[in-house]
């Protein structure tokens, strides 16, 4: 029973980081309609911002969260203006090739600037552990989970309770009609893409604390983020946390209870994508 | 005055004629810490050789990108555009394996700095101009098993092995498990995806096994998550022992690295004359001390090549190879001489398991702890995790 409880907690806490990465991707897909393959590289930039601020200026990653969000918002806004906006009307394949190219370019730029080395931070709380009854868990994954839930609740509130949020939702539903009502569609897209990048940047800061910083750090989590947004329904922000929890729990249960299950982790999320798509197509028949 | 001038000209011409010049290609992953350290070592060694005046080594450096896709064209360029006859390179096994075909095609004298996998040994088994300085993987296993034997004598009985499920981690896992069991250990082994960052589930599974030693065979990206999550799930092994090809930058400054043990071929604290000399030269040239063993490995390759060229008095690669095979010298790792490899597959093997030492992280640095004759301090067992 204790093992099951520990496994469930492991899974739920792992979902925090998954959801943090996936929420930005869901926003880009849901509002701008762009499948952003460079989302993981935005996280990588966030991780490097955190690492460089820590090593260069001694700034704790917790304090870097806000700064990374601002930096990545600007990066996202510039990306939108310079690259995404010109291809918004182009076929989806062109858009995907563009973001894929951006992903490769950013990764190689990081390689040129920082080299291929894996770098780790050294904060006093990376190994901090909380124990409740017979189970224990790390403070950083717990903080990532709380941060993720907090950010998504904030995002829901913004989308559901503010005029700007209503405008974002309107643009997400229809690209033309909101423009006829005086909503500046391009500004909304820019805001949404910037927010998406900012969320990726904050996820990157957490990656730098919990894992490492390197030019490829974002890649593995982007794959999981794609699985999560497919499961949640493309662009459905409300489905992100439940989908992340299902994916992370599936991984944790397989790793714990299936002998040699650690090697099956990637198969689990591909299986999840397969089942979600199959079930959705069967349901809509 | 005229006579003096003529004498000077004759003297300089004589020196130039007596000096043998060779162009050497250097093919390394210079964007990685290990590759950069290796290049620094090669350059330092070449500087020493050239300062002697009898041999002049000119380096042509290219980046192998740590990937076959970059390394193979880079080697082709070295051979066809830069027209070198000697190549120093082959750090990563996967890359070196991919280079085996082009090397056999262009036939350079290939001085291999790393590439421990026996797959590489097999790939170069029919190539006579292959000098492998680094120990092979079976040497690494032998050195690690020696350490595990020592731990067994100190009461360790259960080993949990966490191995990455790619070629690096899983290739020898069954043999490893069997050898540990032969030593008397009870072994539980679980695979993982390197870079996944999430080990809590597998570590939780290990809790019931209550291992004395958590042994992970993976990459640098896994080091911090494993050290952190071992504590987070309350696993409490008596020793965390890691075997990545490189450790992450900054890991030594992280307090989670305290008492984590691993294996290396050299540390700056190694007490022999050649090691001290290397550390001083390195500090003078680069203004820092490295603890990457690829730096002295590159240095040793350059020095041994210099000796061989001097003995051959020729830039001919076969004459240099003949002299290199006879080289005997003291190095920061200990004595170097070339013999056939233990399996007999390759003819020129430099170092073996005797160069490996076990270290433990403590308060910001790696300290040798085993074998006893090379230890700077006793092993902390059980460690505090």
Give tens-digit pLDDT for A146-169: 998 999 899 889 988 998 888 888
Residue B44 lies in a domain: yes
B52 and B147 share one domain: no
Lowest mean pLDDT of B14-23, B62-71, B317-326, name the range: B14-23
pLDDT given at position A184: 83
Look up tokens 């004459």; give the residue. Answer: B319
A265, pLDDT greater than 90: no
- Crossing angle of helices A39-57 and A61-79, in 10° steps, is 140
Rg of chain A over all Cα atoms, to the nearest angstrom: 19
Q: What is the pLDDT of residue A45?
A: 97
CATH code for the domain in which residue B108 is found: 3.40.50.2300
CATH code of residue A72 = 1.10.3470
Residues B143 and B233 in one domain: yes
Closest-approach residue (CA) in chain B for A222? B196
Beta carbons of B33 and B291 less than 8 angstroms apart = no
Query: Percent of chain B at pLDDT above 90?
Result: 72
Q: Say if residue B18's pLDDT is above 80.
A: no
Determine the length of chain A.
285
How many domains would you assign to chain A? 1
**What pLDDT is attached to residue B7?**
60
Say yes or no: B111 and B154 in one domain: no
Contacts A258 to B, Cβ<8 Å: none
Q: Looking at residues B19-37, what average pLDDT do you find? A: 92
Judged by a CB distance cut-off of 8 A, whether residue B2 touches chain A is: no
Of A10, A119, A211, the CB nearest to B225: A211
In a domain, B334, yes or no: yes
pLDDT at B309: 97
CA distance A125 to B254: 10
| pLDDT value for B341 | 95
Of A32 and A48, the structure prediction assigns the larger pLDDT to: A48
Please check whether residues B72 and B56 belong to one and the same domain: yes
Same structural domain for residues B225 and B333?
A: no
Q: Which pLDDT value is given to residue B6?
A: 61
Residues B65 and B109 in one domain: yes
Mean pLDDT, residues A267-283: 82
Alpha carbon distance A164, A159 (integer Å): 7
**The pLDDT value given to residue B32:** 84
Please compute the mean of the pLDDT values over residues B32-59 and round it to a whole number: 94
Residue B173 touches partner A, C-beta closer than 8 Å: no
Q: Say whether residue A108 is in contact with chain B using an 8 A CB cutoff.
A: no
Greater pLDDT, A232 or B359 = B359
Q: Is the pLDDT of residue B158 over 90?
A: yes
The confidence score (pLDDT) of residue B342 equals: 94
Q: Is the peptide bond before B382 cis (omega within 30 degrees of 0)?
A: yes
Lowest mean per-residue pLDDT among A128-132, A136-140, A171-175:
A171-175
The pLDDT mean for chain B works out to 91
pLDDT at B276 over 90: yes
B3 CB within 8 Å of a chain A CB: no
Same domain? B189 vs B248: yes
Average pLDDT, chain A: 88
Q: Are A168 and A162 in contact (CB under 8 A)?
A: no
Same domain, B233 and B362: yes
- Structure-token pair, residue B66: 């740590």
Tell me the mean pLDDT in the region A46-59: 95
Over range B32-38, report the average pLDDT. 90
Q: Residue B2 pLDDT > 70, yes or no?
A: no
Per-residue pLDDT averaged across B89-112, rounded? 95
* Cβ–Cβ contact B63 with A under 8 A: no
Residue B191 within any structural domain of the chain: yes
Same domain, B182 and B211: yes
B-interface mutation test, from A20, A56, A61, A118, most B Cβ less than 10 A away? A118
**Across residues B267-274, what is the average pLDDT?**
89
pLDDT value at residue B17: 53
| Per-residue pLDDT band at B246 (split at 50, 70, 90) | confident
Instruction: Output the DSSP codes for chain A.
Output: -HHHHHHHHHHHHHHHHHHHHHHHHHHIIIII----TTHHHHHHHHHHHHHHHHHHH---HHHHHHHHHHHHHHHHHHHIIIIIGGGTTS-HHHHHHHHHHHHHHHHHHHHHHH-S--B----TTTT-EEEETTEEEEHHHHHHHHHHHHHHHHHHHHHHHSHHHHHHHHHHH-SSHHHHTT--HHHHHHHHHHHHHHHHHHHHHHHHHHT-B-TTHHHHHHHHHHHHHHHH-TT-GGGHHHHHHHHHHHHHHHHHHSTTGGGGHHHHHHHHHHHHHHHHHHHT-
Cβ(A273)–Cβ(A267) under 8 Å? no
At A4 the pLDDT is 87
What mean pLDDT do residues B98-124 have? 94
Within the 14-53 window of chain A, which residues sit less than 8 Å (CB to CB) from chain B? 14
Predicted local distance difference test score (pLDDT) of residue B61: 97
CB-based contact B195:B221 (threshold 8 Å): yes
Query: Per the CB < 8 Å rule, is B221 touching A115?
Result: no
The answer to whether the CB of A68 falls within 8 A of the CB of A48 is no
Q: How far is CA B279 from the centre of its chain?
A: 17
Q: Which residues of B touch A118 (CB under 8 A)?
A: 219-221, 223, 246, 248-249
CA distance B121 to B340: 11
Q: How much is the ipTM here? A: 0.84
For residue A211, give the nearest of B200, B224, B256 by CB distance.
B224
Name the residue range of residue A139's domain. Answer: 2-283
Same domain, B246 and B368: yes
pLDDT at position A275: 86
The pLDDT value recorded for residue B378 is 92
Least reliable range by pLDDT among B132-146, B194-208, B369-383? B194-208
Q: How many domains does chain B have?
A: 2
Residue B114 reports pLDDT greater than 60: yes
Name the residue with tokens 């360029």: B77
B4, pLDDT greater than 90:
no
Q: Is B323 a member of any domain?
A: yes
User: Is pLDDT at B110 greater than 60 in this prediction?
Assistant: yes
pLDDT for residue B376 is more than 70: yes
* Same domain? B209 vs B306: no
Output the pLDDT for position B5.
64
> Who has greater pLDDT, A45 or B166?
A45
Confidence check: pLDDT of B1 > 80: no
Of A3, A117, A212, the CB nearest to B32: A117
| Domain assignment present for B381 | no
Integer Cα distance of A78 and A39 in angstroms: 14
Q: Is the Cβ of A212 closer than 8 Å to some Cβ of chain B?
A: yes
Residue-wise pLDDT tens digits, B118-140: 889 999 998 999 999 999 988 98
Q: If you average pLDDT over residues B161-166, what whole number do you get? A: 87
> How much is the average pLDDT of B101-112?
97
Mark yes or no for CB contact A220/B254 under 8 Å.
no
Say yes or no: B192 and B325 in one domain.
Answer: no
Cβ contacts below 8 Å, chain A against chain B, sum to: 140
- B243 φ, ψ to 5°? -135, 55
Residue B240 has pLDDT above 90, yes or no: yes
Q: Is residue B384 part of a domain?
A: no
Domain containing residue B342: 2-135+270-351
Residues B295-321, mean pLDDT to the nearest whole number = 97
């Amino acid at each position: 029973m204790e093992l099951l409880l520990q496994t469930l907690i492991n899974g739920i806490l792992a979902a925090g980081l998954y959801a943090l990465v996936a929420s930005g991707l869901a926003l880009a897909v849901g509002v701008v309609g762009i499948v952003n393959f460079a989302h993981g590289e935005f996280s990588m930039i966030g991780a490097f911002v955190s690492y460089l601020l820590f090593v260069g200026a001694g700034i704790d990653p917790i304090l870097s969260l806000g700064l990374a969000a601002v930096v990545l918002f600007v990066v996202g806004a510039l990306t939108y203006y310079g690259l995404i906006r010109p291809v918004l009307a182009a076929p989806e394949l062109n858009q995907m090739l563009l973001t894929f190219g951006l992903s490769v370019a950013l990764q190689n730029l990081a390689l040129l600037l920082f080299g291929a080395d894996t770098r780790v931070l050294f904060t006093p709380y990376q190994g901090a552990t909380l124990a409740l009854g017979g189970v224990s868990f790390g403070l950083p994954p717990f903080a990532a989970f709380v941060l993720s839930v907090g950010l998504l609740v904030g995002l829901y509130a913004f989308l559901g309770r503010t005029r700007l949020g209503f405008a974002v939702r309107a643009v997400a539903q229809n690209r033309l009609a909101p423009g006829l009502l005086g909503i500046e569609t391009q500004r909304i897209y820019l805001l949404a893409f910037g927010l998406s990048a900012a969320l990726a940047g904050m996820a990157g800061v957490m990656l730098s604390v919990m894992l490492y910083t390197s030019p490829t750090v974002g890649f593995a989590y982007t794959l999981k983020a794609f699985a999560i947004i497919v499961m949640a329904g493309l662009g459905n922000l409300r489905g992100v946390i439940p989908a992340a929890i299902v994916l992370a729990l599936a991984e944790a249960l397989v790793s714990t209870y299936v002998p040699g299950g650690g090697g099956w982790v990637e198969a689990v999320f591909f299986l999840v994508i397969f089942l979600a798509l199959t079930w959705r197509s069967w349901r809509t028949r | 005055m005229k006579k003096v001038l003529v004498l000077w000209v004759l003297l300089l011409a004589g020196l130039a004629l007596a000096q043998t010049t060779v162009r050497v290609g250097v093919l390394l992953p210079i964007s990685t810490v290990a590759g950069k350290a290796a290049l620094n070592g090669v350059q330092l060694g070449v500087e020493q050789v050239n300062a002697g005046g009898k041999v002049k080594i000119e380096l042509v450096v290219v980046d192998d990108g740590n990937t076959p896709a970059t390394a193979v064209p880079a080697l082709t360029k070295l051979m066809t555009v830069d027209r070198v006859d000697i190549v120093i390179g082959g750090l990563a096994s996967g890359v070196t394996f991919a280079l085996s075909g082009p090397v056999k095609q262009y036939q350079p004298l290939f001085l291999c700095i790393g590439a421990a996998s026996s797959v590489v040994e097999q790939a170069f088994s029919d190539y006579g101009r292959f000098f492998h300085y680094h120990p092979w993987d079976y040497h690494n296993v032998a050195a690690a098993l020696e350490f595990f034997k020592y731990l067994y004598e100190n009461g360790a009985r259960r080993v949990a092995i966490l191995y990455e499920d790619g070629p690096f981690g899983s290739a020898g896992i069954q043999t490893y498990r069997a050898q540990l069991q032969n030593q008397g250990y009870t072994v539980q082994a679980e695979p993982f995806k390197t870079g996944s960052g999430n080990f809590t589930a597998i570590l939780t599974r290990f809790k019931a096994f209550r291992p004395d030693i958590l042994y992970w065979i993976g990459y640098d990206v896994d080091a911090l998550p494993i050290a952190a999550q071992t504590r987070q799930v309350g696993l409490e092994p008596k020793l965390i022992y890691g075997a990545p090809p490189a450790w992450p930058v900054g890991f030594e400054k992280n307090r989670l690295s305290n008492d984590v043990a691993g294996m290396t071929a050299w540390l700056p604290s190694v007490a022999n004359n050649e090691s001290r000399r290397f550390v001083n030269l390195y500090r003078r040239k680069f203004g820092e001390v490295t603890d990457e063993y690829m730096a002295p490995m590159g240095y040793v390759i350059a020095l041994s090549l210099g000796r061989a060229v001097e003995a051959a008095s020729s830039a001919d690669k076969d004459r240099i190879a003949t002299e290199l095979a006879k080289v005997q010298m003291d190095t920061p790792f200990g004595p170097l001489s070339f013999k056939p490899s233990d399996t007999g597959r390759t003819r020129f093997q430099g170092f073996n398991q005797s160069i490996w030492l076990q270290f433990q992280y403590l308060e910001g640095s790696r300290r040798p702890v085993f074998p006893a004759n090379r230890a700077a301090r006793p092993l902390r067992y059980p460690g505090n995790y």
